[in-house]
Amino acid sequence: IAKLEDKITAETARLDVLRGNSQKELIDELRFQLNRLNNELITVKTKQEQYQAFINNSQARKKDIQEKIESIESDLRIAEPQLQELRQEKEQSIAELSTLQDQFHEIAEILNEKSTAYNQENIAYHQQLNKVSNITKDLEFRETQKDDHELRLERNSAELVEVQEALRTTIPFEDEEDRDLIAMYEQKIALEDGLKELEDNYYADKQKINNLEDALTQQRRSKEQSDFLISEIKDKKTGLQIDLNALKERLSVEFNIELKDLIDREDAPEITEDQATLATKCSKLKKQLDEFGTINLMAKEAFDEMNERYDFINKEKADLIEAKGSLMATIKEIDDTAQVQFMFTFDAVRNNFVKVFRSLFNEEDSCDLVLTDPSNPLDSDIDIIARPKGKRPLSINQLSGGEKTLTSTALLFSLYLSKPAPFCIFDEVDAPLDDTNIDKFNNIIRDFSKNSQFIVVSHNKKTIASTDIIYGVTMVEQGVSRVVAVDLREVA
């Protein structure tokens, strides 16, 4: 970048000399070279910005890598106690197998007893169920008879009412009908006695049915309890069988021991303790087993997986450390290069700022660009000092509007001198300036317009008069605007 800027400065100086000698062709050639150098400078600046972005990405990646390393180290510290626990669980598996076998045999005996009792209860239940079915059929038949008798009783009652009514009307005239009335009354009494007998039989049979239903309900409850108990015993038996099969598989895979060989061992120790002592020891062992908690049947597989992950993490850690060292070296190299280029550009902008500021103000006025942290220029803030003659402002707010504008213009052109641009646009920058400062502003624009083109939006007459071409917007007709251009160079 410095070499390109030196070439640009040299070519610019040479262009000024040749412009004075009116060598047009050579001037055009040098202007072409100057534009080419400007483009190369822009390309280099773009690469510098890309390098800076790469540095930022590298720093973020470095932070992520450091966090991964810390996470991996934390996982390793957590895994060590787990590996120790897995080793202890491996030693406890054989003792647990023997206890589960005893429990399995005990539950199997209980299951056989409960199954026998269940079969007996089931037979009695079906016998009672058949009795209830027969009684229910008999009850339905008797209820049908009762309905028939009730229907006949209703018809007879209706006929009795009709007969009684007829008696009231015919007794004074027909004595012979008394015998029929007496016969019908006797028939009514006989029917009522038969109905009462049927009702007594019905309620007696209904009581028997209720008693049988109560007995049947009791039998059903007993059967449900037996079914529940048998189901629970079967579940326990299934669970113990699964645990026993799992332990058999673990003994075969991990220790290369068959359960049959372990039970039939001839060198098994002889039991000399009595049953109470053995029961006490068994209770203690069960309590210890409960305190140990559930056994992880996948302990060995988990141990092998953790070892494999441990080796992988160590290898990855070594690669990360190596990559970190390489990345840090690259970052340091880029930082050194960026710092050198920044300081070179900063010094150039600083010198340009002093020159332009004094050309806009006075030679006695003081100005400067100062780094707040010279030891770390890339991250340091930059203080802009501007003190016109006779003023000691502590802040830019204490300057007048025109002084603020000229200070900003000086800073802008100091950057422009370090990195020229083919076009520069000002939007009413001269609005707060008085006539004296307007002349200074127009003069510096005119000087820099030799190498670049300036587009100025302004309402100031002096600024408009100092330009080469004026573009104005007029309204010839209502609602119709038109842009009008005036080339002042032709007028002059």
Reported for 260-267, long-range contacts at CB under 8 A and 24+ positions apart, including other chains, are 262/94
Host domain of residue 110:
75-292
Q: Has residue 56 been placed in a domain?
A: no
Q: How far is CA 446 from CA 15, 421, 466, 469, in A?
A: 17, 15, 8, 13
Would you state the pLDDT for residue 297?
59
Q: What is the pLDDT of residues 84-125, one digit of tens each?
A: 676 676 667 666 766 776 777 777 677 777 767 776 776 766
Mean pLDDT calculated for residue range 356-377: 85
Nearest Cα to Cα of residue 236 among 410, 374, 114, 394: 114
Would you state the pLDDT for residue 456?
92
Element (H, E) at 470: strand 469-477
Q: What is the pLDDT of residues 27-40, one digit of tens each?
A: 666 667 777 777 67
Would you state the pLDDT for residue 465?
86
Q: How far apart are CA 67 and CA 62, in angstroms?
A: 9
Q: How far apart are CA 464 and CA 187, in angstroms?
A: 142
Average pLDDT, the chain: 75
Among 226, 261, 292, where does a domain finish? Answer: 292
Among 239, 259, 292, where does a domain finish? Answer: 292
Q: How far apart are CA 384 and CA 362, in angstroms?
A: 17
Mean pLDDT calculated for residue range 384-393: 78
Would you state the pLDDT for residue 168?
63
Greater pLDDT, 282 or 252: 252
Pairing of strands 469-477, 382-387: unpaired
- Say if residues 102 and 110 touch (Cβ distance below 8 Å): no
Q: What is the CATH number of the domain that holds 181?
A: 1.10.287
Mean pLDDT calculated for residue range 344-356: 90
Q: Has residue 441 been placed in a domain?
A: yes
Q: Which residues pair with 469 in a beta bridge?
A: 487
- Say if residues 473 and 483 touch (Cβ distance below 8 Å): yes
Q: What is the pLDDT of residues 30-80, one digit of tens each?
A: 667 777 777 677 777 777 777 777 777 777 777 777 777 777 767 667 766
Q: Has residue 14 been placed in a domain?
A: no
Q: What is the pLDDT of residues 294-341, one digit of tens each?
A: 656 566 676 677 778 778 887 888 888 888 888 888 888 888 888 888
Q: What is the pLDDT of residues 423-453, one digit of tens each?
A: 889 998 888 888 888 888 888 888 888 888 9
Q: How far apart are CA 457 and CA 463, in angstroms?
A: 9
Q: What is the CATH number of the domain that holds 486?
A: 3.40.50.300
Report the predicted TM-score, pTM, of the whole model to 2 decimal places: 0.38
Residues 118 and 262 in one domain: yes
Mean pLDDT calculated for residue range 187-213: 72
Among 230, 261, 292, where does a domain finish? Answer: 292
DSSP string, 224-271: HHHHHHHHHHHHHHHHHHHHHHHHHHHHHHHS---HHHHHT-TTPPPP
> 449 Cβ partners below 8 Å, 6+ apart?
468
Reported for 454-458, long-range contacts at CB under 8 A and 24+ positions apart, including other chains, are 454/423, 454/424, 454/425, 454/426, 455/423, 455/424, 455/425, 455/426, 456/425, 456/426, 456/429, 456/430, 457/425, 457/426, 457/427, 457/428, 458/426, 458/428, 458/429, 458/430, 458/431
Q: How far apart are CA 76 and CA 71, in angstroms?
A: 9
Mean pLDDT calculated for residue range 202-223: 75
| DSSP for residue 481 | E
Would you state the pLDDT for residue 160?
65
Q: Has residue 19 been placed in a domain?
A: no
| DSSP for residue 456 | E
Q: How far apart are CA 126 and CA 120, in angstroms?
A: 10
> 12 Cβ partners below 8 Å, 6+ apart?
34, 451
CB atoms within 10 A of CB 294: 7
Mean pLDDT calculated for residue range 271-291: 66
Q: Has residue 353 been placed in a domain?
A: no
Q: Has residue 281 been placed in a domain?
A: yes
Q: Has residue 481 been placed in a domain?
A: yes
Mean pLDDT calculated for residue range 259-286: 62
Beta-strand runs (E) in 274-407: 366-371, 382-387
Q: How far apart are CA 385 and CA 381, in angstroms?
A: 13
Q: Has residue 395 been placed in a domain?
A: no
CB atoms within 10 A of CB 292: 14
Lowest-pLDDT choice from 242-251, 288-297, 458-467: 288-297
- Say if residues 381 and 372 touch (Cβ distance below 8 Å): yes
Greater pLDDT, 474 or 293: 474
Query: Interior CA angle at 308 toward 302 and 313, to 5°?
Result: 120
Residues 94 and 237 in one domain: yes
How many domains are there within the chain? 2
Would you state the pLDDT for residue 173?
47
pLDDT at 23 over 60: no
